[in-house]
Amino acid sequence: MAIYDAASLSGREINEIIKKEMDAKITFTGVNGQRFICDGMKDKLVTVDGVAGNASGAYMDSGELSVIGNAQDAIGDTMNGGRIFISGRCGDATGYAMRGGEIYVGKDVGYRAGIHMKEYGDDKPVLVIGGIAGDFLGEYQAGGLIIVVNTERAACPLGEDYAAGMHGGKIVVFTDCQPAPRAGVQVREVAARDIKEIEEYMRRFCTFASLDYSSEISRKAYVLEPMGRNPYKRLYVNN
């Protein structure tokens, strides 16, 4: 494993090291908000000790970015593949327009996580949130899967206006309190088919967060999903 002190490095310099380093496993210490780390990365396994800056992991195609600490905004922006693990909290617009790959956040996320997530064919993005989510979770979601694990057992782990404009994909929320339905979005209790769909990602999250899978997966949960294939058809006019 290659180890670098990034305290005096810019985000551009960190990415140059990632591209040129022959060792597939790279660790950067002393990271403090440098932006765009691992953007467009393929194959490498990068660990960031500190705070990953805005848009880190954007356009990732493969590989893995592990953040020991917190991350700022737009992490995994338009991500295509690979995995991102963040042990702490993540800022706004986590997973913005994700097209593939997986993001695991140990604690809370800010506003508009999962906005514009989409899927095509076998490419389905997954965002797993360990804590609670800020306002507008899953706004305009067109595909993919969002899981709110709610490890702190908050009564209301969702902020305001969640699933606003949602027309694809699925949100699974672990909570004892049923979320209120939204226009064009239905809410139902989790079913066996949903558990089967999220099992792989919940196991991976529990391993990452040192949680007991059986305890977490057996909790009460609800599913938010669009009503039909095109719930907003009536709002459009054929020209």
3-56 pLDDT tens trace: 999 999 999 999 999 999 999 999 999 999 999 999 999 999 999 999 999 999
Q: Is residue 227 part of a domain?
A: yes
Q: Does residue 86 register a pLDDT over 70?
A: yes
- Please write the tens of the pLDDT for every residue from 116-142: 999 998 899 999 999 999 999 999 999
Smallest CA-to-CA distance from 30 within 14, 2, 51, 1 is with 51
- Residue 147, Ramachandran bin (φ over 0: left; ψ between -120 and 50: alpha; else beta): beta
Q: In sequence order, what are the residues at sequence separation of 6 or more whose Cβ sits closer than 8 angstroms to the Cβ of residue 228? A: none
Quick one: pLDDT at residue 15? 98
More confident position, 63 or 230 = 63
Residue 65 falls inside a structural domain: no
Distance of alpha carbon 188 from alpha carbon 186, whole angstroms: 7
pTM above 0.85, yes or no: yes
**For the chain, how big is the Rg over CA atoms in Å?**
18
- Tell me the pLDDT tens digit for each residue of 147-157: 999 999 999 99
Summarize pLDDT for 148-200 with one digit per residue, the tens.
Answer: 999 999 999 999 999 999 999 999 999 999 999 988 999 999 999 999 999 99
Confidence of residue 93 (pLDDT cuts 50, 70, 90): very high
Does 201 map to a domain? Answer: yes
In a domain, 27, yes or no: no
With respect to residue 208, please indicate whether it lies within any of the assigned structural domains. yes
Q: Do the domain assignments include residue 122?
A: yes
CA distances from 162 to 18, 138, 165 (A): 37, 6, 9
Q: What is the pLDDT of residue 110?
A: 98
Domain assignment present for 74: no
User: Domains in the chain: how many in total?
Assistant: 1
pLDDT at 234: 52
- DSSP single-letter state for residue 235: G
Please report whether residue 178 resides in a domain. yes
What is the domain extent for residue 201? Answer: 89-235
What pLDDT score was predicted for residue 13?
A: 98
**CATH code, domain carrying 125:** 2.160.20.60
